Chains A and B, each alone.
Chain A
């Protein structure tokens, strides 16, 4: 089993800092898109070494906002 982990910091003004662990390659981008749909636009992104490892498939579906 693989462990997926995020560290999320919601700042006093609602800005979100997201640290993604355990997602490799494009699966990491899927997570970023998931949070983008949930929270808002990505202001900055820094990919870490794991991002460049062979990819795996991860799918998220997010409901339409009310």
Chain B
């Protein structure tokens, strides 16, 4: 048969590509992009500082984002039902996730942040795998989304 292995994902992406993945993953979970770029996100945050909102901070494990010097502080914020999730790049280049919301427990915010972060990583991996398989002339002969949201692909190539 060959081999069966499990791989732990590593996210290495330029900011524009990462930001596009965040937007796509967030949309698939019912979020809308509310702000993108430094100024607009800061305005968004300033408008909410007086409220009694809860805030929690997460990090996407094994992530390395590449931004140019001008884009060091780039961010993207998405929102759903009063919960705002902001993705940014910290000083070490890791993807940072800040979840805020009024009337939500820390546990609930953490769960929202983790659900979206996981979807972002899954989407990043899917995109990368599909791009590389196409580049190597593999054909995806089956693609299914399982009940637990896993994506199952059957990939084939004929060789002489």
Contact = CB atoms under 8 A, between A and B. Distances in A.
Size band of the interface chain B makes with A:
35 or more
B134 interface: no
B122 A40 contact: no
Contacts of A46: 3-5
Chain A, interface residues (CB within 8 Å), range: 35 or more
B1 interface: yes
B66 A48 contact: no
B129 A4 contact: no
Contacts of B12: 65
Nearest to B9: A14
Interface in A10-52: 10-24, 28, 31-32, 34-36, 38-51
Nearest to B159: A2
Contact of A14 (B66, B125, B148, B160): B125
Contacts of B43: none
Interface stretch (B72-80, B89-97, B150-158): B150-158
A41 B155 CA distance: 21
Which 7 A-B pairs give the minimum distances between C-beta atoms? A14-B121, A48-B1, A20-B2, A40-B10, A14-B9, A45-B5, A13-B118
Interface of A: 1-24, 28, 31-32, 34-36, 38-51, 60, 62-63, 65-66
Interface of B: 1-14, 17, 62, 66, 118-119, 121-122, 124-126, 128-129, 132, 135-136, 138, 146, 148-160
